[in-house]
Amino acid sequence: MLPKYKRILLKLSGEALLGNNKNSSDPFDPKIIEQYANDIKTVTDLGVQVAIVIGGGNIYRGMNENDSGIERAHGDYMGMLATVINGMAMQAMLEKVGVYTRLQSAIKMEQVAEPYIRRKAMRHLEKGRVVIFGAGTGNPYFTTDTAGSLRAIEVKAEVILKGTRVDGIYTADPEKDPTATKFEHISYHECISRNLKVMDMTAFTLCMENKMPIIVFDMNKPGNLLSLVEGKPIGTLVS
């Protein structure tokens, strides 16, 4: 079957890398990273070009300045460095399963990553390499959701696939409210009016203004990513 998408941006949360080891001091569950790598390999084998943005919440989450004593901008830079660590872990596992990769960082650190250069990233994608974008946008006060939206638009991805622990967008948090119902398709405007936390507003507005569709899906179920790129109705489409 021919894939529905030629180029995708996969947005992963740092917390997802914990897998079921929520109480572990280890920031990664190697089995989850290996599953992600194998799922990504199945879609690159179809010729799909894959860019990835990973959060850093498994290592460092921005804390209240009053509680931590760390100012917001300083804490955000710490979070950006955490995303590079996650990017390196993902890169190592992808290369272990035979996928060529490039890690690009919005903060210069030549020993571990290329600097982010848009045209170079697009060239890597055209050559079939998975490109992992680290360090967010390189600026404090912006989330990795915003970085994902920005990079997707910059490299001309056709869709943002937001991999989470739940299988789509619900009327309420399905982990807390058993009566919550799932949306198969929802508009940007309805997401805003219902105050559904798909992404932060900066990221969401970027997608809406540039008509970038978002699909929220369960990345922890093996095979879901392949089903999505084949055009099967997985998760919730925001468009």
Binned at pLDDT 50, 70 and 90, residue 25 comes out as confident
Q: Looking at residues 5-32, what average pLDDT do you find? A: 85
pLDDT digits (tens, 9 = 90+) for 216-227: 999 999 999 999
pLDDT(93) > 90: yes
**Burial (CB count <10 Å: 0-12, 13-18, 19+), residue 146:** buried
pLDDT, mean over the chain: 92
SS3 of 236, please? strand
CA 207 to chain centre: 14
Of 97, 173, 81, nearest in space to 134 by CA: 81
27 falls within a domain: yes
178 falls within a domain: yes
- What is the extent of the structural domain holding 228? 7-158+167-238
1 falls within a domain: no
Q: Tokens at residue 216, please?
A: 């929220």
| Domain CATH number, residue 219 | 3.40.1160.10
Q: Which of 29-33, 118-122, 146-150 has the lowest mean pLDDT?
A: 29-33
2 falls within a domain: no
75 falls within a domain: yes
Specify whether the CB–CB gap between 105 and 69 falls below 8 A: no
86 falls within a domain: yes
Specify whether the CB–CB gap between 145 and 200 falls below 8 A: yes
Number of independent structural domains in the chain:
1
**Burial (CB count <10 Å: 0-12, 13-18, 19+), residue 194:** middle
Q: Which of 34-38, 155-159, 187-191 has the lowest mean pLDDT?
A: 187-191
Q: Looking at residues 63-71, what average pLDDT do you find? A: 74
Of 87, 72, 69, nearest in space to 147 by CA: 87
pLDDT(23) > 70: no
Place of tokens 């901008």: 73
pLDDT(65) > 90: no
70 falls within a domain: yes
